[in-house]
Structure 1
């Protein structure tokens, strides 16, 4: 049984994702579909994503591959940067390694935080510097 849940919301030019893992392939496909739908209204100007992961949000190898594809698609749809927050995780080091590998393979501007407020501040400052 999987204990995964996620919520996707968009506000102004920021997509917020609040997720608890673990993340298997089926969950990732559903998440990918809902994310692509949510960014349709953001894609007309540079936007950013704040993804908050709670608990053991380790990705299966197949889910990690899908996250690479999703990240590339988000970048094609004008995503400027990602701020990732890892909280309450006994596997934070593994999660950080996986996410860094995904984002770096996509050449995505990102930063990983343990605090939501710091993530929001960094992303807001980064987005202010982007040409519209």
Structure 2
């Protein structure tokens, strides 16, 4: 594994966050939310990559989230987070509560992965006023 890690650079490996909801391999869609929304998101760390490993998934200041389950097993310790460790081969469901308007990003917290493309942005709007 150490030798594989030494050979893994942004020139040799492209880390990606993909949206598979439409059955494809596209970058995440143009996500747009409104303050006050709660959105359930499924995160999958697939085993069939060239270099499977854990990824700490981080969401910037748009809000906070709860980890609902890991591989279908309900999370017993429901605490608000902004980062979750997505283990190799694991599926995690989170409930994202959006509280702050703006343009935000979500990414892998490993700097090399972020630099290589494991990042996307999304927008949170204040919503309609009454």
Normalising by structure 1, we get a TM-score of: 0.31
**Greater fraction of residues in strand:** 2
Greater relative contact order (Cα 8 A, min sep 6): structure 1 or 2?
2
Structure with greater Cα Rg? 2
**Greater fraction of residues in helix:** 1
